Amino acid sequence: MIYLDYAATTPVDQRVLDVMMPYFRESFGNPSSIHRFGQKAESAVDAAREKIASVLGCQSDEIIFTSGGSEADNLALRGAMMARKDSSKWILIAKTEHPAVSKTAIQLEKEYGFLLEWLDVNGHGQVTVESLAKAVCNHTTMASVMLANNEIGTINPIADLAEVAKANNILFHTDAVQAAAYLDVKVTKLGVDLMSLGGHKFYGPKGVGALYVRKGTGLVPHLTGGSQEFDLRAGTHNVPYIVGFAEGLRLAAEEREARTAHVRPMRDHIIGTVLEGISDSKLTGHPEQRLPNHASFVFNDVDGNLLLQLLESAGFACSSGSACKTGNPEPSEVVTALGHSRNWALGSLRITLGTGTTPEQVDSFLKTLPSLVEKARSLHR
Q: Tell me 209's DSSP state.
A: E
In DSSP terms, 5 is beta-bridged to 352
User: How far apart are alpha carbons 21 and 9 in whole angstroms?
Assistant: 20
Interacting residues of 169 by C-beta distance below 8 A, sequence separation 6+: none
- DSSP string spanning 113-143? --EEEEEP--TTSPPPHHHHHHH--TTEEEE
Using CB atoms within 10 Å of the CB of residue 327, give its burial: 0 to 12 exposed, 13 to 18 middle, 19+ buried.
Answer: exposed
Of 148, 96, 151, the closest CA to residue 350 belongs to: 151
How far from the centroid of its chain's Cα atoms is residue 284's Cα?
17
How far from the centroid of its chain's Cα atoms is residue 200's Cα?
10
Q: How high is the pLDDT of residue 324?
A: 59
Structural domain 14-254, CATH architecture: 3-Layer(aba) Sandwich (3.40)
Annotated domain spans of the chain? 2-9+256-380, 14-254
Type of residue at 277: G
Supply the Cα-derived Rg of the chain in whole angstroms.
Answer: 21
Of 283, 267, 365, 272, the closest CA to residue 316 belongs to: 365
Strands in the chain per DSSP E: 2-3, 63-66, 90-94, 115-119, 140-144, 171-175, 194-198, 209-213, 281-283, 294-299, 316-317, 348-352
Of 114, 98, 38, the closest CA to residue 106 belongs to: 114
Whether the model pTM is above 0.75:
yes
Sheet of 63-66: strands edge to edge? 63-66, 209-213, 194-198, 171-175, 140-144, 90-94, 115-119
In the predicted model, residues of the chain with pLDDT beneath 50 are none
Q: Is 324 a catalytic residue?
A: yes
The fold of the 2-9+256-380 domain, in CATH, is: Aspartate Aminotransferase, domain 1 (3.90.1150)
How far from the centroid of its chain's Cα atoms is residue 324's Cα?
12
Q: How high is the pLDDT of residue 330?
A: 80
Angle at 291 between CA 143 and CA 270, to 5 degrees: 145
Dihedral (C-alpha) 324, 350, 264, 124: value to the nearest 10 degrees?
-90
Question: What number of H helices and E strands is found in the chain?
Answer: 13, 12
Q: How high is the pLDDT of residue 381?
A: 66
In DSSP terms, 116 is beta-bridged to 91
Of 270, 381, 364, 370, the closest CA to residue 310 belongs to: 370
User: How far apart are alpha carbons 73 and 176 in whole angstroms?
Assistant: 10
Residue from 58, 137, 318, 324 carrying the catalytic annotation:
324
